[in-house]
Amino acid sequence: MDFTSSVGNKLVPGDELGYDRAKEVKEFDETKAGVKGLVDSGVTKVPRFLIHPPESLPNPMLSPATTHFQVPVIDLQGFEQSCRRMEIVDQIRKASETWGIFQMINHGVPVSAMDKMLEAVQQFHEQPKEEKIKWYSRDLKQPVKYYTNMNLLVSKAASWRDSISFDFKYGPLNLAALPLACRESVSEYWKHMIELSKTLKELLSEALGLSTDYLANIECMKPELFLCHYYPACPEPYLTLGTKKHSDPSSLTILLQDNIGGLQVLHQDNWVNVPPVHGALVVNIGDLLQLITNDKFRSVEHRVPAGRIGPRISAACFLNPSPARKLGPIKEFLSDSNPPIYRETHISEYAAHHTSKAGNSALSHFKLL
């Protein structure tokens, strides 16, 4: 999601950083042309407000390509047949307990709808600036918006990407409310996300040993936010990040990445690449599913380094609990020997803490003693 480090909620004073950061950020923001605009204008150096401190940057000595770990790939083919289903549910359980992430193939979303979705995101960002800037906004009440880093104005280090987001919290968006460049593709792709989320709710419920309709009944996994990223090629990728290390404050995230790759996950203290597989969708467990499952399923930290090759495109569908629902460890899991680890909360309270922790997991704040 879109998180950047912030100092409380105050603007980062420029002199603390040795230059007038606020002024540079404001000038950049006013162009409404995004990071892509910087690249188009021919920058060969990463501007200071996009430079991250060395401790947040990938360590070039620890290349994820050298680890022997492999993110699980699960084939959903035949999930409706009972004996295949048992195998699939078992694989999902293992991956969710040990990795918090897996790739899925044969998930039922047509590859053509996925390819069109990625093309549409690219087309949106690459259309003439005059058309695109109509959508430039950080107003949370605006359901469709384009921006560079939601927290640009309060962050210490911005990330090398532009985004367009679609908020389905208040129901389906009418077609006319979507930018022409991605209207058809978004509405088509979103229909598939709704279908896929139903299947995943069932498979995850079974993987937790609960009744098939359990997660649907507690309304904790509704497709709600669609966040599409455009990561332009970066001239100095070792100074900035596409997306800094974070966990998702969702229940579950379904991510579509293009064939450039770049997504990395932290597994047993190693950064591991999530290699692009054409037609695959990446599923990662979010913080709220970890909370609800009392740590049975694990939310996973992930990041996207900046790259020399681009643009890289991705599209993340966040499945969130209904705002009205109280969220706490599922009663069926609790016993004297397995007491609740977390207190009850609501998504709004959780999201506020997650933002205040600059995108890092806020689960510790909700731990009971």
Phi-psi region at 47: left, alpha or beta (left = phi > 0; alpha = psi -120 to 50): beta
Q: Where are the beta strands (DSSP E) in 33-107?
A: 73-75, 101-105
Least distance from C-beta 44 to ligand OGA, angstroms? Answer: 25
Least distance from C-beta 253 to Ni ion, angstroms? Answer: 6
Closest to ligand OGA by CB, 251 or 314: 314
Binds 244, which of Ni ion, ligand OGA, none (CB < 5 to 8 A, cut-off by type)?
Answer: none
DSSP secondary structure, 21-44, as one string: HHHHHHHHHHH--HHHHHHHTT--
Least distance from C-beta 92 to ligand OGA, angstroms? Answer: 20
Binds 121, which of Ni ion, ligand OGA, none (CB < 5 to 8 A, cut-off by type)?
Answer: none
CA angle 291, 297, 300 (to 5 degrees): 90
Question: What residues line the site for Ni ion (CB under 5 A)?
Answer: 248
Cβ atoms < 10 Å from Cβ of 332: 11
Least distance from C-beta 245 to Ni ion, angstroms? Answer: 10
Strand 312-320 and strand 252-257: pairing? Answer: antiparallel
DSSP 190: H
Closest to ligand OGA by CB, 294 or 299: 299
Residue nearest to ligand OGA (CB): 314
Least distance from C-beta 1 to Ni ion, angstroms? Answer: 5
Closest to ligand OGA by CB, 281 or 292: 281
Closest to ligand OGA by CB, 22 or 266: 266
Alpha-helical runs (H) found in 99-182:
111-126, 129-132
Question: What residues line the site for ligand OGA (CB under 6 A)?
Answer: 1, 227, 229, 243, 248, 255, 257, 263, 302, 304, 314, 316
Phi, psi values for residue 166, rounded to 5°: -125, 120
Least distance from C-beta 66 to ligand OGA, angstroms? Answer: 21
Closest to ligand OGA by CB, 289 or 304: 304
Closest to ligand OGA by CB, 311 or 329: 311
Q: Rounded to whole angstroms, how far apart are CA atoms 12 and 145? A: 24
